[in-house]
Amino acid sequence: MSGPHVLPVRVYLGIFAALSVLTAITVATAQFDFGPLNNLVALGIATTKATLVVLYFMHARYSGKLTAVVIATSIGFLFILFFLTLTDYLSRAWAL
Amino acid sequence: MSELAAGGGQHPALQHHFRDLEQQKAASSLGMWVFIAQEILFFGGIFMAYIVYRIKYPEAFVAGSHHLSWQVGFFNTLVLIGSSLTMAMAVYSAAIGKSRRVVGFILATVLLGSVFLGVKYFEYAEKIGPCLPGASGVGCLVPGERFDASALGVSGEAAGHTQIFYSLYFGMTGLHALHMIIGIPILLVIARAAWKERYSPEWHTPVEMVGLYWHFVDIVWIFLFPLLYLIGAH
Amino acid sequence: MMTTQAPTLPEKHYLNAGYGWRSWLLTTDHKRIAVLYLISITAMFALGSFYAALVRWNLLVPDGSHMSAETYNKAFTAHGVIMVFFFLIPSIPATLGNFLIPLMIGARDLAFPRINLLSWYIYVFGAAITLYALLAGGLDTGWTFYTPYSTVYAQSNVVIAVVGVFVTGFSSILTGLNFIVTIHTMRAPGMTWFRMPLFVWAHYATSIIQVLGTPVVAVTILLVALERIFHFGFFDPNRGGDPILFQHLFWFYSHPAVYIMILPAMGVISELITCFSRKRIFGYSFIAMSSLAIAVIGFLVWAHHMYVSGMAVYSAMVFSALTYLVAVPSAIKTFNWTATLYKGSVQWDTPMIYVFCFIGLFLIGGLTGLFLGNLGTDVHLTDTYFIVAHFHYIMVGGAIMGYLGGLHFWWPKITGRRYLEAWGKVSSLLIFVGFNLTFFPQFFLGYVGMPRRYHVYPEEFQVLNVLSTAGATILGFGYLFPFSYLTYSVFKGRPAGNNPWKAKGLEWTTTSPPPAHNFDETPTVTEEAYDYATPPKEKSALV
Amino acid sequence: MPLLPEQASSFAGEVDALFFFILGVSGLFAVGIWIALLYFGIRYRRRSDDDRPREIYGSLALELTWTLIPLAIMTVMFVWGAKVFFELNRPPDDAMTVSVVGKRWMWKIQHPTGHREVNELHVPVGRAVRLVITSEDTIHSFFVPAFRIKKDAVPGRYTMAWFRATKVGTYHLFCAEYCGLEHSKMIGWIVVQTPEDYQGWLAGGPRPDSPAAEGEQLFSELICSTCHDPGSSERGPVLTGLFGRTVALASGDTVVADEVYVRESILNPAARVVAGYQPLMPTYQGLVSEEQIITLIAYIESLQVSPSALGRQEAE
């Protein structure tokens, strides 16, 4: 969040366009049934859009290491919650 | 108190316990990011419930999601991305010292946010209306006694599990809408301060902070839209 | 003691910087907010202890004739909710942490003073709601709110209590956020990360847990409230919900929460043990890093509360292995503290007695955790009084001993006056005896198989329960001592002078009590932490 | 005043051994540190105000030793604990299945022979008993301290525990998960008898229908036979010899037709449809109680031989 660093307007418009296009793509791919691939595509697009918003709209790209550490830690702890809980749900059916 | 007095025309917004404006801005920015980290975990809890139940009841989720109109969701997503753009432009205008534009862009953001909430209101009304006492109960999608899964084209146990989908639908979109309802008044307060020329290129931290919050709320919707509206082929 | 004339109170300090309600209720001075917290959590501790007395009174007799089952269930629930959310979690961070962190790192105040006051108001507001729920009708779900009992079958004030605890959670989040930003951005020049006092390290690790853990339990109990109000089906098996998912989400926070309770006390112990053995801490970086290790690994172990809940066997094995991993940093700390005493110059003042109590009792608490993290023995021990003894040894034997030790150590700095040393020694021993007599018998009760939260129990367990109640009486009586002589010292205590213990640390370079703005000039730090070889710099007599 | 619980099951000995192993190791460390604390505290007490103790920063060697050694010991504890946990969750094949249904503030227990008991379980000594546990309302926990076993009764699904009683006698049964007002009264007894006494008890009690017979009656009442009986329209899979067999599913993978699958197919038929059949079966959620499901499962399990032979087996 360094003060003087100001992005040119076209970057914002470019990011907005990218986000809109990606939303359109995600909707388009949802029309067809690729089986489990649908989930991966949908999450992949959503993650890309989120990363664009974080890097450019939220200036994370120009905010130095500490901001990156905070973002990484929170996402890391989120994954701890997801994956360790899923170790229970996914391994319940395994035979002993 | 000697050192402070000799601050040499220090910025009116500099609070007494900070060494200089740079330190104060770094603190505000880190504080906001840590707040967003906390929000990520807050939504993480209900996303965990979503993941577990989607694994347990896939067909109920497909049925529930098919009943949601993805067109409305798509429109709402574009509206919210638009509000993110106007928010970013507001921060940009504050950084180049154009206070009038800051007010304009923030009001645009508030407008787009309100449009989003309006669309949400109609989506909810369509699902909650039939459940109200006295209403027919057909098409009522609020989990509970009056839940009516007939329109979802699924029967038996899976019909019961669509209640879980709609619990998550109302829970997640409700939490998200609540965050926007809290965000809009704060945006208006910042707009008023900008209208009073309080912000300058050296110091416009409040605009940046509310921008971070708004972008985060947009990111949550970016994930909510595909996860709720686009499950399985439509 | 120094032979110079007796120390006097400075004429200007944060306590007399302003008078009247407005100067206290609208203060943004971190020291005053710490005092406000001190008063409010002491009140909550008293109320929580009252409910503990009710529980112990009921358990004197096996037939539960002293009170109805409903009263007993509401009593142990109130004891749990008040002690966990309103005393243990805020205790050291909100009082000693708020007061000392800015002083220790050479800052004038926390990064966000107004948010600091807001967090106190949120605490009081949350406490008001929760107390209304507990007193007007009561809550009988236990502090764990397990579903589907809390969502479907409980007939008590679940929703009101949930709202109260939900609100209070944000007080903890905001304190954590404030500490993280302050420690990152407001350290004085020269105060590098590895020169910071370990008290600050411990609070940094605690704040990470507070910020990243509390929101998960906030959303979880919010779902419980939604389910009760709107009949959503999240945790209701009749609607396809899964009660075990509630346990996962609840313990994801509630296990790290026990590290929120113990880490600050560990920070206090590191400060006290160095001062009272006048020696550098043994293995500074190992203790600092073990605080962070506890904070991170603490998030990986939560399902050791759920081994018998019907979760998958393989998943339970993963959590058991990780639970043994989280025991290592605590072991490192204990060994390092003990090594710090070697070849030191140990002074047995009251704070040091509490240090010995802490390490001795925390050892039992920590080591009994090995039985409960172990898959084989936990099946037998979980949900019995072995668990109750284990966590009381950590929370009362550890966190409260550390809290009392820190309170006594920094009391001269907070109030500017000395407490009566003799009373301190007597009461610490009384508390030590009362505590052990209360909770050590519960280990046997647990292994013999007495389940938790029982209003009536088989006769053969009565003798151990009577012993435990006797101990609780002594413990309760023992806690009255520090309450009284510390309060007495506020009004009648002799002025303590700037550094009565001759301790190192920036907080001891200010006057006692410190001025409202902490430091006239931001100090520059040149020494390493706990450099007791060079005598502490006296506050320059000029200003 | 007992300080140690009785050892009345095949696990008890090993769980106690594990418990005392951990106790021994922890005790060693604890006493060692207590002594060190007190010794250092007294030996190096402050003698004069200007003591200047030597600067000791720390030692990597010491740090490593008191990290690796505890880690090694704890690994042994973990592995031994995991072994015991595995045994606790893996019943022998010859175990007799007893169904346990927790209902607010009582345990309803049903033997394979159909005998029903409330808050009491009579078992022959030396016989492996497999408990299939569920609950009709909140979470409860089936806890027998003397056998060192405990398992939550979770509503909406089955959980499993087993034991092999090794000592005749009566042992406490507790509910170990808080379940409301009378949580502390939801207790009972496990009565371990010699095989002869057990047979006597079985004979003595009122001669109940076997669960299979009850299940068969329910099977016809609910007109399951229209789809599932051999020779009927066969819109549903024939159930003879189904129990325990691996069934190919429409979705392509396979599943072993055990209690969990049968129970799920009754309550949620569309979830895992057998290959070659349409998901026509309506759900019986809310139409049958947990006990009725257990009797249906018992009936389907008894269909190993052709239904006509069932009568003969009944007579023995």
Q: What is the DSSP string of C473-523?
A: HHHHHHHHHHHHHHHHHHHHPPB--S-TT---SGGGGS-SSPPTTS-SS--
Supply the pLDDT for residue C347. Answer: 93
Chain D residue with the nearest C-alpha to that of B157? D268
Q: How many A/B residue pairs have CB atoms within 8 Å?
A: 137
Number of domains in chain C: 1
In a domain, C417, yes or no: yes
Q: Could you say which of A88, A90, A91 has the minimum Cβ distance to residue C248?
A: A88
> Residue C540 domain-assigned?
no
Beta-bridged to residue D153, according to DSSP, are: D140
Which residues are within 8 A (CB) of C94 and not within 5 positions of it... i.e. 6 or more apart? C34, C37, C41, C119, C120, C123, C171, C175
Which subunits count as partners of chain B given 3+ CB pairs below 8 Å? A, C, D
Domain boundary among D154, D182, D207: D207
How many pairs of residues across A and D have Cβ atoms under 8 Å apart? 3
Instruction: Check if B19 contacts C (Cβ < 8 Å).
Output: yes
Residue D247, pLDDT score: 83
In this complex, the residue of A43, A50, A74 whose CB is nearest that of residue B41 is A74
Per the CB < 8 Å rule, is C318 touching A73?
A: no
Q: Which of C98, C181, C209, C242 to mutate to test the interface with B (most CBs of B within 10 A)?
A: C181
Whole-number Å distance between alpha carbons of C389 and C385 = 6
Name the residue ranges covered by the structural domains of chain A: 1-62, 64-96
DSSP helix/strand/coil, B85: helix
Closest CA relative to residue C340, chosen from C289, C395, C409, C269: C269
Say how far apart CA C60 and CA B193 lie, in whole Å: 64
Domain B19-229 falls in which CATH fold? Four Helix Bundle (Hemerythrin (Met), subunit A) (1.20.120)
Q: List the single best residue of A57, A69, A83, A92 to mutate versus B (max B Cβ within 10 A).
A: A57
DSSP per-residue codes, C141-166:
STTTT-TTIIIII--SSHHHHHHHHH
- How far apart are the C-alpha atoms of C320 and C499, rounded to whole Å? 46
Mean per-residue pLDDT, C322-351: 94
- The reported pLDDT for the residue numbered C539 is 55
- Which residue out of D46, D134, D144, D185 would a mutagenesis test of the C interface target, given it has the greatest number of C Cβ atoms within 10 Å? D46
CB spacing of A3 vs B202 below 8 angstroms: yes
List all residues of chain B from 24 to 63 with a beta carbon under 8 Å from chain A.
25-26, 28-30, 33-34, 36-38, 40-41, 44-45, 47-48, 51-52, 55-56
- The predicted model gives D110-117 an average pLDDT of 88
Contact between C212 and A73 using a beta-carbon 8 Å cutoff: yes
D163, D186, D207: which is the final residue of a domain?
D207
Confidence check: pLDDT of D204 > 90: no
Q: Report yes or no: B18 at the C interface, CB cutoff 8 Å.
A: yes
Q: Does B22 touch chain C (CB under 8 A)?
A: no
Structure tokens at C484: 């009284």
Domain ranges of chain B: 19-229
Burial of C169 by CB count in 10 Å (0-12 exposed, 13-18 middle, 19+ buried)?
buried
Determine whether the interchain pair D268/B59 forms a contact, defined as Cβ–Cβ distance below 8 Å.
Answer: no
Q: Does A73 touch chain C (CB under 8 A)?
A: yes
What is the residue-wise DSSP string for D61-104?
Answer: HHHHHHHHHHHHHHHHHHHHHHHHHHHHT---TTPEEEEEEEET
User: Is C520 part of a structural domain of the chain?
Assistant: no
Tell me the average pLDDT across C202-206: 97
Cis peptide before B58 (omega within 30 of 0): no
pTM: 0.89
> Could you tell me how far CA C388 lies from the centroid of its own chain?
17
Same domain, D220 and D203: no
Tell me the β-bridge partners of B103.
none
D268 contacts B159 by C-beta, under 8 angstroms: no
- Is there a contact between B160 and C216 if contact means CB atoms under 8 Å apart? no
Contact D268 B155 (CB under 8 A): no
Q: Which residue of A has its CA nearest to D83?
A: A96
Handedness of CA C473, C476, C481, C482 (dihedral sign): positive
For the stretch C517-538, pLDDT in tens is: 899 888 999 888 888 888 776 6
**What is the residue-level pLDDT of chain B in tens, covering all 234 positions?**
333 433 445 778 888 888 888 889 999 999 999 999 999 999 999 999 999 999 999 989 998 998 899 999 999 999 999 999 999 999 999 999 999 999 999 999 999 999 999 999 999 999 988 888 888 778 888 888 788 877 777 777 777 888 899 999 999 999 999 999 999 999 999 999 999 998 999 899 999 999 999 999 999 999 999 999 998 766
Between D251 and C89, name the one with better pLDDT: C89
D268 neighbourhood in chain B, CB within 8 Å: 156-158
Which residue of chain D comes nearest to A92, CA vs CA? D159
Q: Is B96 on the interface with A (CB under 8 A)?
A: yes
CATH code: domain of residue D86: 2.60.40.420
Chain C residues in contact with A74 by the CB 8 A cut-off are 212
Q: Does C389 touch chain D (CB under 8 A)?
A: no
**Per-residue pLDDT tens digits for D215-267:** 777 877 777 777 777 666 667 787 877 887 888 888 777 888 888 888 888 88
User: 9-38 in C: which are within 8 Å (CB) of A?
Assistant: none
Contacts of A65 in chain B (CB under 8 A): none
Q: Are C422 and C400 in contact (CB under 8 A)?
A: no
Chains that touch D (3 or more CB pairs under 8 A): A, B, C
CB pair distance less than 8 Å for B85 and A13: yes
Min Cα distance C300 → chain A (Å) is 7
Residue C71 has pLDDT above 60, yes or no: yes
Q: CA C312, CA A93: separation in Å to the nearest integer?
A: 8
Whether residue D228 is found in the same domain as residue D284: yes
Measured CA to CA, the distance from residue C237 to residue C243 in angstroms comes to: 7
In chain D, residues with a C-beta closer than 8 Å to the C-beta of C250 are none
Query: Which residues form the domain of D301?
Result: 211-315
The residue out of D159, D178, D207 marking a domain boundary is: D207
Tell which phi-psi region holds residue D114, choosing left (phi > 0), alpha (psi between -120 and 50) or beta. left
C-alpha torsion C243→C158→C212→B211, nearest 10:
120
Q: Does residue A52 surpass a pLDDT of 50?
A: yes
ipTM: 0.91
pLDDT tens for each residue of B118-160:
999 999 999 988 888 888 778 888 888 788 877 777 777 777 8
Checking if the pLDDT of C139 tops 80, the result is yes
Domain of C326: which CATH number?
A: 1.20.210.10
Of the residues D264, D272, D281, D283, the best mutation for testing chain B's interface (the one with the most B CB atoms within 10 Å of its CB) is D283
Tokens at B108, concatenated = 């645009």
What residues of chain D, 52 to 111, have a C-beta less than 8 Å from chain A?
A: 86, 89-90
Cβ pair D131, D173 in contact under 8 A: no
Q: What's the gap in Å between the CA of D93 and the closest CA on chain A? A: 13
Q: Is C375 on the interface with D (CB under 8 A)?
A: yes
Angle, CA of D181, D182 and D185, to the nearest 5°: 160
pLDDT for C306 beyond 60: yes
C242: distance to nearest CA of chain B, Å?
9
Does residue C315 belong to the interface with chain A, where contact is any CB pair within 8 Å?
yes
Of B51, B70, B84, B87, which to mutate for an interface test with A (greatest number of A Cβ within 10 Å)?
Answer: B84
Task: Test C318 with A66 for CB contact under 8 angstroms.
Answer: no
**Distance in angstroms (rounded) separating the CA atoms of residues B50 and B44:** 10
How many domains in chain D? 2
D267 interaction partners in chain B (CB closer than 8 Å)? 157
Using a CB-CB distance cutoff of 8 angstroms, which residues of chain B are in contact with residue A23?
A: 74, 77-78, 81, 225
In a domain, D44, yes or no: no
**pLDDT attached to residue B136:** 79
Residue D299's CATH number: 1.10.760.10
Question: Would you call C113 and B1 a contact, using CB atoms and an 8 Å cutoff?
Answer: no
If you measure CA to CA, which chain A residue comes closest to B219?
A50
Residues of B in contact with D269 (CB under 8 A): 156-157
Tens digits of per-residue pLDDT, C424-474?
999 999 999 999 999 999 999 999 999 999 999 999 999 999 999 999 999
Judge contact between C239 and B160, C-beta under 8 A. yes
Q: Is A89 on the interface with C (CB under 8 A)?
A: yes
Question: Which other chains touch chain A, taking contact as 3+ CB pairs less than 8 Å apart?
Answer: B, C, D
Rounded to the nearest angstrom, the minimum Cα separation between A92 and chain D is 11
Only one residue has tokens 């024939």, namely: D238
